[in-house]
Chain A
């Protein structure tokens, strides 16, 4: 299937700084994307999603940007906190024979330092 990849495997930021996590996708037909956060010992949790008819979507302290021209997705976290330390995955909707499933990237580990 199509690949979803991340530019950096690890990211270290200071508490209070803004974080930017990047993701590249290769399937130009992809039209729905999700960012998940996975804390140690837990399953991935939904953070924010975006549809291809949008180029920006904001949540609480998080913003997702979508650039369809270069097939790039980013997650911005404002005023990063220690509780933001986790692995972040981008995922794209993948068309299968009988429906749809999410195709995940390899993940970026975010470490917030005091």
Chain B
């Protein structure tokens, strides 16, 4: 089974802190994604990556950056956390760049910025 693991289930950070959310997948998937999930808004794409050291902005990249130094690991970085970044963050991975490809999700990290 594909396993996508997010390092923390719950995080509480202070406004202005630099925050790292880590995600690791164990199935040698090329593609990795970061979404945030908010009530009534569904899942929105922040950033994604199709290869090591490669990244592309999603629909809501402002206030975030990402790092993919190794194929299995994709990190989301909040440079200076703000209260409007309080949310559920979901990491996903998928096998190929083909159009017909499902994404496998981690359990999510619920981040609260105070």
Which residues from chain A sit less than 8 Å from chain B, CB to CB?
A: 1, 9, 31-32, 34, 36, 41-46, 49, 51, 89, 91, 93-94, 96-107
- CB-based contact A100/B35 at 8 Å: no
- CB-based contact A105/B100 at 8 Å: no
8 Å CB contact of B42 from A1, A34, A99, A105: A105
8 Å CB contact of A97 from B41, B43, B56, B99: B56
Q: With A and B bound together, what is the CA distance between A11 and B18 in angstroms?
A: 40
Q: With A and B bound together, what is the CA distance between A45 and B97 in angstroms?
A: 20
8 Å CB contact of A45 from B54, B101, B105: B105
- Set of chain B residues within 8 Å of A1, measured between Cβ atoms: 59
**CB < 8 Å A-B pair total:** 66
- CB-based contact A43/B99 at 8 Å: no
- CB-based contact B102/A89 at 8 Å: no
Q: With A and B bound together, what is the CA distance between A106 and B44 in angstroms?
A: 9
- CB-based contact A43/B107 at 8 Å: yes
In the complex, how many residues of chain B place their beta carbon closer than 8 angstroms to a beta carbon of chain A?
A: 30
- CB-based contact B43/A44 at 8 Å: yes
- CB-based contact A106/B40 at 8 Å: yes
- CB-based contact B103/A102 at 8 Å: yes
Do A44 and B48 contact each other (CB < 8 Å), given the known contacts A32-B99, A93-B99, A105-B42?
no
> B90 near A: Cβ within 8 Å?
yes
Report the minimum CB–CB distance from B72 to chain A (whole Å): 17
- Set of chain B residues within 8 Å of A32, measured between Cβ atoms: 99-100
Q: With A and B bound together, what is the CA distance between A107 and B58 in angstroms?
A: 19
> B50 near A: Cβ within 8 Å?
yes
- CB-based contact A44/B99 at 8 Å: no
Report the minimum CB–CB distance from A70 to chain B (whole Å): 21
Q: Which residue of B lies closest to A6 (CB)?
A: B42
Q: With A and B bound together, what is the CA distance between A99 and B33 in angstroms?
A: 12
Do A43 and B90 contact each other (CB < 8 Å), given the known contacts A99-B31, A104-B35?
yes
- CB-based contact B102/A96 at 8 Å: no
Report the minimum CB–CB distance from A34 to chain B (whole Å): 6
Map CB proximity to A onto B46-65 as digits: 1 under 8 Å, 0 otherwise. Answer: 00101000101011000000
